[in-house]
Structure 1
Amino acid sequence: MFILGKFRSVMKTEEGEVKVVSGYRWKGDPSPMHIGLVDMEPNTLLVPQYVDANLVIFVRRGHAKMGWICKKGKMAESRLRAGDVTVIPAGSAFYLINDCKDERLQAIASIDSTETLGFTTYQSFFIGGGRDPTSILSGFDPMTIASAFNVTMEELGFMMSQAGGPIIRMHPQPEDANKPNEDDDEDSTTKGSIWQRIFNFILGGSHHRHHGKNSSLKSSHAYNLYDKKPDFRNSYGSSVAVDESEYAPLKHTGISVYFVNLTAGSMMAPHVNPSATEYGIILDQTGEQ
C-alpha cells in the first residue's frame, strides 16, 4: 500500500550530494511524500536557498552550522550535532555548512510537499548563484540589485558568479576546524563567511548567534533525540518519541519523530498506527520487517 521508488540525485557536486526517494502515503492519496538524504564533505557549504515545502531534518552524523530566517525576518545561526531534529518551514531561506575538518555530514530530511506550489512536487529556489545554480535574482540588473540591498558590486559579483553547483568547498579552515568554533569572526575571508554576510544583507535582518544550552531560540530550533530520556526501555532496547507537544516547530508539519534502538536478536512487538503513515530508516545494522 506504500511503495517507495528509487533514489534520485537532485543535487550533486564533488563536494556532496542530496538524494530523494518519493512515494505515496496511501492508496488513492494524491499527495506524495519525499525522503531526502544529505551527504556533505568536510569544509563545504550548501548555498543559501528556500524550498516550497516543510523540511524536518535529522542529523545522523557529524556537526553543522545552519543559518536561517526566523520570526520577524531576523537571521539566526545555530550549531547542529548528531541526534538533532530541526524544522525549516516552507519558504524560509537557509544555508548549511559542514565546517568540520575531517568528518562528513549526513542528514535525513522528511520533505512535506503539501505546501508546494504544485502540491505534488517541491522546488528549491537559490538566492545566490550564476550558471550553476541559477539565482532567483538573475533577471535583475546587477546595479539595481546592489543598490536595493546596499552591497558592493564585488560582494554581489561573488554571489552571482557561483558556478560550482549547490554544494561548494570553502577556503581551508584552521587546524582545529573539526571542533565547533564558537568564536568565528563574521568578517572572515572564507567563502562561508562571505555567504553569511551577503545572506544577511539581502534579507535585511539582524544577525544572531546561538551557542549556549540556555539560548531560547536555539532550544526551540533543534531538539536532540539522543539527549532525551527514553519513553520506554528494557533489556531488549529502547524508544523515544517527539511530537509537537515537546518540540513546537513540528506543529505545522504534521510529523512526529520516533527513534528505536533494538539489541541483537530482539524485536518490536506488532502494532498498528491508526491515524498516521509510519516510515522507518535503518541507521545501522540489518533486520526484518
Structure 2
Amino acid sequence: MAKLATLLPLLLFLLTASLVLSRNTDREQYGEGGEHPESEQSSNNPFFFDEKSFRTPLKNQEGNLRILDRFTQRSHLLRGIENYRLAVLEANPNAALMPTHYDTDEILFVVAGRATITLMRKENKESYNLRKGDILRVEAGTTHYIINRDNKEQLFIAKLMETISVPGQVQVKFTGMDHMPFFGIGGRNPESYYTSFSKNILEAAFNVTILHFEQAPFNFLSLLNDSLPLSLSLSTTICCVFHLQTEDDKVRKVFGENQEGAFLSVPQEKIRQIAQQASSSSEEGRTHGGRRRGPFNLFEKHPTYSNQHGQIYEVDSSDYPALQAQDISVAYAIIRGGSMLAPYYNSKAFKVALVVDGKGHWELVSPYGSARSGEGRESQEESVSYQRLSAELSDGNGLVVPPGHPSAIVAERGQDLRVLCFGINAEENQEHRLAGRDNIYNKMNKAEREIFFKAPETEVREVLNAQRDAGIVEGPKGSQESEGEGHGRAFQSILGFAGF
C-alpha cells in the first residue's frame, strides 16, 4: 500500500499528460477550436503526390513511362475520379515507344520536345507531328507508336487516362502492378500478347503451316535409304530438325524477337521518312465523319489571363471538340517567380495538375481534414471548420483540387513555376475567383455588403478593391526565409495574405 501511495501521484501525472497530448493532437489534425491548425505536411495531404507516388512499369536506357497511383488508393475523398490516371512519358532523342494500345481513353499534352505519333485505327492510319503545347486525344484500343523526332531534346508527354474495363486500372498486371499496356510487337520485356495464344490459334489466324517438332525426326527418318552412309543420314536429320524448330515458332518469332524493351533507338533517316508523311497542329488536321482528329496547340489560343505576373492558357471542347467525348479541359499556367495564382475554386471540375518546371508552394482549404482514408469530422453537432493543407512544390509533383475547394499556388522567387492542369467534369464548370479584380464578392452591391459583412463598408470596399490584377497576382512579400535556411520553410498563409 505504501508503494501504491508513492506511485499514485506519478500515475495521475502521466494520465493527465496523455489526455492533454491526445487532445492537442486531435485539435491539430481536425482544426478544432478557435484557431486554424498549422499546415499539414505533404505526407499527410491526400491531394498531393510526390515523385514516389508514381510507378514505372516501362523503363530502359531510351525512355520510361511513369503512372501515378490510383487516386482512391490515397483517399476516399478522390473516388469521384477513381477511373482516371495521370501518366508521364519520357523518351530520349531519336527514341521510339513500341506500338501499343491501352484500355483507356487518353488526352496527351506535349510538355517539351517534338514527336511523331502514328495511330492505326480501324478505318485508316493517321500520323501527326507534335510539338510543345499540342493536345491530342487517343481513343481506347487505338494501337499507336510515338517517336521522338528531335536529335537533341528529350520528349516529355503528360497523359490523362480514363480507364474503361476496370476502374482506375490500366489493364494487365505487370510485376505486381496494374500499369501494363498491350504490346503486339515485343520480346523479353515487354512480351508480345501474340505469344500467349496457342499454336493452333496462331496457325489458323495467320494461315501459317506449323509442323510440330515431335513428328519431324520420325517422318523424315522413314524416308531415308538404308544404303546411305550413317554420317550423311545423321547430318541430314540434324539440319531438318533445326529447320523445323524455326517453322514451329514462325509467328512468335515475327512478333516476339524484339529484345530492346518498350523504348528503342531509331535511325534518323527512318524518322525523317515517317515525319514527312505526317500532318501537324498548324495544319487543318485530318477529319473523319466531319470531326477533327488531329492535334490542337494550346499556345495558339490567346491566354485567359496575362499580365506581368504570368499567363494562364485554357482549352476546352469549344476550342478542340475531341475533348467533349471525355468532358475534359486542359490548362497551362506560367507563374512568374514571386507571383501567385490567386485563390479560386471550381464549381464542378476536379483539377488534376502536374508541376512541369520550377518550385513553389501550394495551399488548399478542405472541410474534410487530412486523413488519407477520407474520414474527416463526421459529428453533426460540430461547427463548420476547415483544414489548411499545403505542400512544397517541385518538378514532377502531382496535385488534385476537388470541386468547391479554395486553392492557391505561389512561385518561388527567382524562377518561374509552370503547371499543367487537366479538368475533369469540365463542360459546365466555372472558376470562381476569390481575390483580385474579378473577385466574386465584388459583384455584391452596397446593400448586400452591409447585410453580410460586419466590418465597416469602407474597410470592405478597401479589401475587395485593393488588388487590381486578376488571375495571377503578386505573391506574398517576405513569405520565404532567407536562402541559407532552405526551401522547406512554410510560406505565410496565402489566404491570409489575400484578406481571408
Q: With structure 1 as the length reference, what TM-score do the two structures score?
A: 0.78
Counterparts of 2:353 and 2:280, CA distance in 1: 31
Taking the TM superposition and a 5 Å limit, the aligned residue runs for 1:1-289 are 1-4=46-49, 6-22=53-69, 23-24=71-72, 27=77, 29=79, 31-70=82-121, 73-113=123-163, 115=164, 117-123=165-171, 124-138=181-195, 139=197, 141=199, 143-147=203-207, 157-170=253-266, 172-174=267-269, 181=272, 184=274, 209-211=278-280, 213-217=282-286, 220-289=293-362
Amino acid of the structure 2 residue aligned with 1:2: F
Q: Do the aligned partners of 2:111 and 2:157 also contact (CA within 8 Å) in 1?
A: yes
Whichever of the two has the greater Rg, that structure is 2
- Report deviation, 1:246: 1.1
Amino acid of the structure 2 residue aligned with 1:65: T
- Report deviation, 1:235: 2.1
Amino acid of the structure 1 residue aligned with 2:47: F
The answer for unaligned runs of 5 or more in structure 1 is: 187-207
Counterparts of 1:156 and 1:100, CA distance in 2: 33
Q: Do the aligned partners of 1:239 and 1:259 also contact (CA within 8 Å) in 2?
A: yes
- Report deviation, 1:92: 1.3
- The change in CA–CA distance for 1:257 and 1:235 in structure 2 (over 3 A counts) is same
After superposition, what is the alpha-carbon deviation per residue over 1:60-87, rounded to whole angstroms, capped at 9, x for unaligned?
11111100034x5211111111111111
The answer for unaligned runs of 5 or more in structure 2 is: 1-45, 172-180, 209-248, 363-500
Q: With structure 2 as the length reference, what TM-score do the two structures score?
A: 0.47
- The change in CA–CA distance for 1:259 and 1:127 in structure 2 (over 3 A counts) is same
- Report deviation, 1:143: 4.9
Q: Count matched residues.
A: 255
User: What SS does the aligned partner of 1:163 have?
Assistant: coil
After superposition, what is the alpha-carbon deviation per residue over 1:33-73, rounded to whole angstroms, capped at 9, x for unaligned?
32111111112111111100111111111111100034x52
Counterparts of 1:275 and 1:14, CA distance in 2: 41
- Report deviation, 1:215: 3.5
After superposition, what is the alpha-carbon deviation per residue over 1:82-110, rounded to whole angstroms, capped at 9, x for unaligned?
11111111111111111322221111111
Structure (1/2) with the larger helix percentage: 2
Amino acid of the structure 2 residue aligned with 1:173: Q
Corresponding residue for 1:204?
none
Q: Which moved more, 1:256-265 or 1:3-12?
A: 3-12
Give the number of the structure with larger relative contact order, counting CA–CA contacts within 8 Å between residues 6 or more apart: 1
- Report deviation, 1:160: 2.7
Amino acid of the structure 1 residue aligned with 2:145: Y
Amino acid of the structure 1 residue aligned with 2:131: R
After superposition, what is the alpha-carbon deviation per residue over 1:111-170, rounded to whole angstroms, capped at 9, x for unaligned?
222x2x22231121111123322222221545545449xxxx989844331222211222
Counterparts of 1:246 and 1:18, CA distance in 2: 29
Counterparts of 1:212 and 1:274, CA distance in 2: 31
Q: Which moved more, 1:246-255 or 1:269-278?
A: 246-255
Q: Do the aligned partners of 1:146 and 1:156 also contact (CA within 8 Å) in 2?
A: no
Counterparts of 1:26 and 1:255, CA distance in 2: 22
Amino acid of the structure 2 residue aligned with 1:137: Y
Q: Do the aligned partners of 1:66 and 1:77 also contact (CA within 8 Å) in 2?
A: yes
- The change in CA–CA distance for 1:156 and 1:103 in structure 2 (over 3 A counts) is farther
Counterparts of 1:66 and 1:120, CA distance in 2: 25
CA RMSD of aligned residues (A): 2.9
